[in-house]
Amino acid sequence: MNACEVAIRGLADEIHQCAVEKGWYGGSTERSPAELIALMHSELSEALEAFRHSNPPDKHCPKFGNAEIELADCIIRILDAGQHLNLDIAGAMLAKIRFNWTREPRHGGKVY
């Protein structure tokens, strides 16, 4: 395991532990994969809205624009879901990054 993978795994562990301690898991609270993905999607929609409104400072973390915080929230939700569902998100990310280095420019001419 390389340093990047160790760092991502550690971050995912901390994120999930916080979610557990704040009551988002356990007891009568059980989250399905569909719910977790819907919550990720909601963070992306909030980032889009931030850009539509000129990306004002975030009200909780004003050092950052609201879009930055909402995109960070999406990553946080992805890493949390990965821990909860016992998915190797860190390993998958690094494998995909390595694969992307082997691809043709614009994946063979895609417009977007």
Condensed to tens digits (0 to 9), the pLDDT of residues 6-43 reads 999 999 999 999 999 999 998 777 889 999 999 999 99
Kindly state whether residue 26 falls inside one of the protein's structural domains. yes
Q: How far apart (Å, rounded) are the C-alpha atoms in residues 3 and 54?
A: 36
* pLDDT for the residue numbered 71: 98
How many structural domains are present in the chain? Answer: 1
pTM: predicted TM-score of the whole model, two decimal places: 0.91
The larger pLDDT score, comparing residue 111 to residue 24, is at 24
Structure-derived torsion over alpha carbons of residues 49, 50, 53, 55, reported in degrees to the nearest 10 = -160
Query: Residue 110 — pLDDT band, cuts 50, 70, 90?
Result: confident
Kindly state whether residue 39 falls inside one of the protein's structural domains. yes
* pLDDT for the residue numbered 100: 95
Q: How far apart (Å, rounded) are the C-alpha atoms in residues 21 and 69?
A: 21
Kindly state whether residue 111 falls inside one of the protein's structural domains. no
Kindly state whether residue 110 falls inside one of the protein's structural domains. no
Kindly state whether residue 106 falls inside one of the protein's structural domains. no
pLDDT in tens, 35-91: 999 999 999 999 999 999 999 999 999 999 999 999 999 999 999 999 999 999 999
> Which residue type is seen at 62?
P
Kindly state whether residue 94 falls inside one of the protein's structural domains. yes
Kindly state whether residue 79 falls inside one of the protein's structural domains. yes
* pLDDT for the residue numbered 47: 98
Kindly state whether residue 50 falls inside one of the protein's structural domains. yes
Task: Please name the residue that has the structure tokens 């160790």.
Answer: 6
Q: How far apart (Å, rounded) are the C-alpha atoms in residues 9 and 94?
A: 12
Q: What is the domain extent for residue 27?
A: 3-101
